[in-house]
Amino acid sequence: MNTTSLSKIAWNRIPQARFAMWTLIAGEFVIFGGLIVVYLLNRMKYPGWGEMAMHTNVVAGTINTFVLLTSSFFVVKAHEAAVKKNVEKVKFWIWLTILCALIFLGIKAYEYTHEIHLGFTLSSPALLEQGKHVETLYWALYYTMTGLHGLHVVGGALALFFVMRNVAKTKSYFHRIEAAGLYWHMVDIIWIFLFPLIYLIH
């Protein structure tokens, strides 16, 4: 006895997976919202922060933004395919989405390497030595926000992968593509907020 016998003992119309996912997304927005508020408050407190943002790689950030937007388009195509129950097309579009995730992570890794090389880390001891205490906070927030987002990219990609594999094996559970896709859109939207705030503030 489990919930797939839904039709016998429930008569409501809200599709479950979608409902649950929206709830999860709302929760995630509050978490990232908290971080963004912290970032904004600190930015208002320390106007000199703009200087630090100049060391971020705006080109890389812009490319990544397009990569994520494109991946969201791919996931929409995957959902279309799922609605039509076309397993092959679902696999195709999901693989493209995951490819975009990998490109995003690769570019991010390149950025991080470069920034760490310049001495900007979570605690930035080099900056501390120069007496630039307040600036270290910028980088702490930079890594925290983009790092947490990056973890969500990894999580989202893994979710898409496992859902796709399950669909390919069982030729059913297509509604899960939509749920995973929603999660992916959330990851994309959070980046749309982070990018201007962190990279473009001056």
Partner 1 sequence: MTMSTTHENKGFWHRFFFSLDHKDIGLQYLITTMFIAFFAGIFAMVFRIHLAFPDYHIPLFGIIDAKEYNILVTNHGLIMVLWLSMGILLATAGNYLIPTMLGTDDMAFPKLNKLSYWFFLLSVIILIISFFLPQKGFGGGWTLYPPLSVGDFGYNTPYKTFSDRFFSSNTFVLLAIALEFVALLMGGINFMVTLFNKRAKGMGLLQVPLLVWMIVIASILFMFSVGPLVAGTFMLLLDINAGTGFYDASRGGDPLLWEHLFWFFGHPEVYVILLPGLGILAEVITTNARKTLFGYKFILVLVLIATVLSLMVWAHHQFVAGVDPRAATVFGILTIIISLPFAGVILSFLATLWKSNLRLTLPMKWAMSAIVLFTILGGFTGLHLGAALFDMYAHDTSFVVAHFHYTLIPVVIFAGMAGFYHWFNKFSGRELNQFLGNLHFWLTFIFFNGFGIPLFLLGLAGQPRRYAGYDHIPYLSEGYLPLLREIATISAVILVLSQFIFIFNFIWSVYKGKKVTSNNPWQSTTLEWQTSSPPPHGNFEVYPVVYHGPYEYNRPGVDKDFLPQNQKI
Interacting residues with partner 1 (CB under 8 A): 1-3, 5-6, 8-12, 14, 16, 19-20, 23-24, 26-35, 37-38, 41-42, 46, 122-123, 125, 128, 133-137, 140-141, 144, 148
Nearest to 99 by CA among 77, 67, 122: 67
Burial of 180 (0-12, 13-18, 19+ CB in 10 A): buried
Q: What angle do CA 9, 178, 7 make, to 5 degrees?
A: 10
Q: Residue 120 CB, nearest distance to partner 1 (Å)?
A: 12
Tell me if 146 sits within 8 A of 32, measured CB to CB: no
Which is closer to partner 1, CB of 86 or CB of 144? 144
Q: Residue 104 CB, nearest distance to partner 1 (Å)?
A: 21
Q: Supply 173's token pair.
A: 């559970």
Q: Residue 175 CB, nearest distance to partner 1 (Å)?
A: 13
Largest Cα separation within the chain, whole Å, is 69
Which is closer to partner 1, CB of 106 or CB of 147? 147
Q: Residue 52 CB, nearest distance to partner 1 (Å)?
A: 11
Which is closer to partner 1, CB of 122 or CB of 200? 122
